[in-house]
């Protein structure tokens, strides 16, 4: 009972302030463009409809014993509370690069503890989203919980979201996605110094789950290659990532199923865009998908769950052509080779890593974790592979395990 009371008081303390203020800045010039504040909760305790969170990863409430209420909402709310009440929120733009390397204005979010010193900068690569209103600069990203432990957390929107929502998102294209993240980190560092919140350590921490897990590994590779001096890496946390796209393609074709149907058109289109392959989507998508994918994916109006619902299929044979499912077909071979090129494991990690994956993950198959282990065995890496439930539940474990380790 005493424990219960302490916990309740702790929760009340979290709820004591609910007026997060989001400052909009140009990270290149440090110029503040606007300041917006909004209540997270309405007077009746419900979520303010004007206030968005990133769609929580697909958590099946049946997976947890806590589930006589909606676990999705609870997780979303509690993480939101942590974010809203103790953090300084900065959404902003910075000069990044497009898929061919030309300068492009991109956006992202920076979260800083309101009080106290900043330990390190955490460079987060976010997980898959579908709608632009879920983009980090427009929301309170779940990974923002880590900022509450005294870290600055920066999260890039990626090309195709935020201020570049009119562009195709080069989904799973390693080079351009990782570069958006690195560019933002390089832009945020001088901004932090400018506002007097320079981290105590120059070392950065990289972290991400799912798409963000693979991107985080790609970011590590890119930083090691290009800017290890400006962004020395302290530690890397990667969870549930599709590190090996080709192996993911192979196992999905073999099983004829995917746990995240919307990823199919997103990957084919994203890799085609990023690699400039000039593929015809009609060679890959069956008419039911071909007719709608542009609206579903590129309008950025729908969340991942909504797109999956509209696609209404989990068997690849329902949505992909026979040629698209045969990697030895001429056009598909071009895609497959690009998938191999965009797998993120072929490098030597110079910093310690934590690699997390639930063995029960069917959205990002466990083969990805085994491939990471196969490639990285012998390096300074802690592998955390266990039965952590499906992909969404794995995300919650990952978020909290990283939170504890920080």
Partner 1 sequence: MRKIAFYACLALTLLLAGCVKEKIVTSPCNFTLKINEVKGSKVKFTVTPDNPDATYVFGVMLYEEETAGWPDEKLIEWQLDWMKNSYKEYSAQTQPCGSFADMYCYKGERSIKNTKLSQGTEYLLLLFQINPVTMEAIGPLYRERFTTLPVTKADLTFTVRNMGDGFIIIPDDPERIWFWEYEEESKITDVYGSPFFFYYDVIDMYDEYDFLENLLCRGEARWQFSRDDRSVRSGVKYTMALSAVTDGEISSDVLYMDFIDESGGIDIPYADYGITITE
Cα–Cα distance list, 200 to 118, 136, 203 (Å): 6, 25, 9
Q: Answer yes or no whether residue 228 interacts with partner 1 by CB under 8 A.
A: no
* CA 191 to chain centroid: 23
Binding mask 101-140 for partner 1 (x = CB under 8 A): ----------------------------------------
By CB under 8 A, is residue 251 in contact with partner 1?
Answer: no
Is residue 403 part of the contact set for partner 1 (CB under 8 A)?
yes
Stretch that binds partner 1, among 53-61, 72-80, 127-135, 300-308 (CB under 8 A): 72-80
Work out which of 100, 115, 166, 287 binds partner 1, going by CB under 8 A: 100
Contacts of 148 (CB under 8 A, 6+ apart): 82, 83, 86, 87, 113
Does the protein bind partner 1 through residue 77 (CB under 8 A)? Answer: yes
**Which of 74, 253, 290, 310: binder of partner 1 (CB under 8 A)?**
74
Q: Which of 119, 126, 169, 235 binds partner 1 (CB under 8 A)?
A: 235
Contact between residue 277 and residue 335 where contact means Cβ atoms under 8 Å apart: yes
- Pick 286 or 401: Cβ nearer partner 1: 401
Q: What whole-number distance in Å separates Cα of residue 322 and Cα of residue 342?
A: 23
What is the phi/psi pair of residue 170, to 5°? -75, 65
Which region, judged by CB under 8 A, interacts with partner 1, from 162-170, 197-205, 289-297, 340-348?
340-348
Structure tokens at 381: 């890496």
In sequence order, what are the beta bridge partners of 237? 207, 354
Give, for 356, the enclosing helix (H) or strand (E). strand 353-358
Rounded to the nearest whole angstrom, what is the least distance from the CB of residue 107 to partner 1 in the complex? 25
Q: Choose the stretch contacting partner 1; rule: CB under 8 A; options: 131-139, 242-250, 283-291, 307-315.
A: 242-250
Total residues at the site for partner 1 (CB under 8 A)? 58
Q: Under the criterion CB under 8 A, does residue 44 sit at the interface with partner 1? A: no
Helix (H) or strand (E) holding 11: helix 2-14
Tokens of 102: 């030309």
Distance (Å) of CA 10 to CA 5, 17, 148, 406:
9, 13, 14, 21
Q: Least CB distance from residue 381 to partner 1, whole Å?
A: 5
Helices 330-341 and 263-275: crossing angle in degrees, nearest 10, is 80
Q: Which of 1, 12, 43, 102 binds partner 1 (CB under 8 A)?
A: 12
Among 50, 166, 225, 254, binds partner 1 (CB under 8 A): 225
Under rule CB under 8 A, residue 15 binds partner 1? yes
> Which phi and psi angles does 349 have, rounded to 5°?
-65, 130
Secondary-structure percent of the chain, ordered helix, strand, coil, rounded to 5: 45, 20, 40
- Return the residue matching tokens 């991942």: 304
- 8 A C-beta contact, residue 190 and residue 180: no
Q: Judged by CB under 8 A, which of 336, 361, 390, 391 binds partner 1?
A: 336
Nearer CB in complex with partner 1: 17/333: 333
Exactly one of 255, 276, 282, 322 binds partner 1 (CB under 8 A); which one? 276
Q: Is 78 in the site for partner 1 (CB under 8 A)?
A: yes
Residue 187: CB atoms within 10 Å: 22
Among 2, 4, 102, 196, binds partner 1 (CB under 8 A): 4
Nearer to partner 1, 310 or 340 (CB): 340
Span of 25-33, 131-139, 305-313, 394-402 interacting with partner 1 by CB under 8 A: 394-402
Cα(335)–Cα(333) distance, integer angstroms: 5
Our CB check for partner 1 shows the closer of 13 and 32 to be: 13
Using DSSP bridges, classify how beta strands 204-209 and 121-125 pair: parallel, antiparallel or unpaired.
Answer: parallel
Q: Let me know: does 53 contact 139? Beta carbons within 8 Å.
A: yes
Tokens standing for residue 85: 């009440």
Contact residues for partner 1, defined by CB under 8 A = 4, 7-8, 10-12, 14-15, 45, 66, 69, 71, 74-75, 77-78, 81, 100, 175, 224-225, 235, 246-247, 250, 276, 327-328, 333, 336-337, 340, 346-348, 352-354, 359, 370, 374, 377-383, 385-386, 396-397, 399-401, 403-405
């Amino acid at each position: 009972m005493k424990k219960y009371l302490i916990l309740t008081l702790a929760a009340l303390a979290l709820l004591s302030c609910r007026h997060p203020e989001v400052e909009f800045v140009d990270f290149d010039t440090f110029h503040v463009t606007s300041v917006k504040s909004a209540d997270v909760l309405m007077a009746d305790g419900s979520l303010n409809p004007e206030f968005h969170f990133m769609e929580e990863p697909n958590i099946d409430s049946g997976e947890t014993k806590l589930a006589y209420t909606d676990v999705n909402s609870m997780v979303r709310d509690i993480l939101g509370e942590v974010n809203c009440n103790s953090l300084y929120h900065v959404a902003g733009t910075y000069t990044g690069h497009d898929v061919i390397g030309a300068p492009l204005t991109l956006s992202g979010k920076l979260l800083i503890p309101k009080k106290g010193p900043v330990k390190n900068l955490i460079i987060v690569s976010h997980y898959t989203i579908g709608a632009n209103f879920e983009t980090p600069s427009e929301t309170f990203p779940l990974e923002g919980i880590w900022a509450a432990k005294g870290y600055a957390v920066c999260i890039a929107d990626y090309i195709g979201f935020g201020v570049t929502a009119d562009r195709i998102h080069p989904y799973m294209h390693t080079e351009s996605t990782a570069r958006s993240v690195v560019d933002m980190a390089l832009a945020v560092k001088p901004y932090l110094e400018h506002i007097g919140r320079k981290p105590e350590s120059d070392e950065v921490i990289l972290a991400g789950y799912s798409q963000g897990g693979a991107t985080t590994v790609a970011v590590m590779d890119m930083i090691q290659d290009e800017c290890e001096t400006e962004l020395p890496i302290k530690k890397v946390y990667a969870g549930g990532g599709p590190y090996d796209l080709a192996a993911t393609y192979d196992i999905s074709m073999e099983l004829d199923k995917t746990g995240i149907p919307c990823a199919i058109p997103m990957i084919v289109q994203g890799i085609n865009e990023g690699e400039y392959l000039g593929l015809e989507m009609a060679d890959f998508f069956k008419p039911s998908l071909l007719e709608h994918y542009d609206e579903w994916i590129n309008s950025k109006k729908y969340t991942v769950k909504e797109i999956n619902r509209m696609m209404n299929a989990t068997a690849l044979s329902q949505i992909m052509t026979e040629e698209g499912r045969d990697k030895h077909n001429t056009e598909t071979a071009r895609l497959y080779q690009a998938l191999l090129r965009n797998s993120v494991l072929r490098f030597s990690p110079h910093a310690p890593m934590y690699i997390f994956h639930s063995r029960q993950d069917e959205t990002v198959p466990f083969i990805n974790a085994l491939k990471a282990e196969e490639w990285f065995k012998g390096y300074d890496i802690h592998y955390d592979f266990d039965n952590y439930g499906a992909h969404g539940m794995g995300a919650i474990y990952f978020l909290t395990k990283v939170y504890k380790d920080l």
